[in-house]
């Protein structure tokens, strides 16, 4: 697995899909953003709770929840940046970007 792959696939030719399908695709992407943070926080808390019970401690669950929320925020920001980048936008040299990856052109 590549460490910094694009979490949302590039926009395909949705012109022939119609407005309703395009709206569903956009809603799915926004739902992914909305669910990322609470799920990451819960998974971090759950892992910390398991470690609390295993190691007989009382603080690891809270640290796990904080770690999960931070990981969720990082993931949400990365997805939002990937969603906000326009692959058809020209770069500073006037070249069209084919991949949408941070100004790299093919």
Q: Which two tokens stand for residue 103?
A: 């100004």
Residue 89 has pLDDT above 60, yes or no: no
pTM (whole model) above 0.85? no
Q: Which tokens is 72 given? A: 């969720």
Bridge partners of 90, per DSSP, are 96
Which residues face 96 on adjacent strands? 90
How far, CA to CA in Å, does 68 sit from each of 29, 44, 86, 92? 21, 4, 29, 37
| pLDDT tens digits for range 7-62 | 666 555 555 566 777 888 888 888 888 898 899 999 999 999 999 999 999 999 99
CA gap 86, 101 in Å, rounded: 10
What is the helix (H) or strand (E) element at residue 25, kind and residue range? helix 19-55
Q: Check if the beta carbon of residue 55 is closer than 8 Å to that of residue 63.
A: no
For residue 65, what are its two tokens?
């929840």
């Amino acid at each position: 697995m590549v460490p910094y792959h694009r979490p949302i696939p590039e926009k395909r030719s949705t012109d022939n899909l119609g407005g309703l399908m395009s709206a569903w695709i956009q809603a799915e992407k926004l739902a992914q953003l909305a669910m990322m943070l609470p799920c990451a926080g819960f998974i971090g808390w759950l892992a910390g709770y398991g470690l609390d019970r295993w190691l007989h401690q009382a603080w690891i669950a809270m640290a796990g929840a904080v770690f999960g929320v931070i990981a969720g925020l990082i993931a949400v920001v990365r997805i939002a940046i990937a969603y906000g980048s326009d692959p058809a936008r020209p770069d500073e040299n006037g070249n069209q970007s084919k991949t949408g990856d941070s100004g790299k052109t093919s």
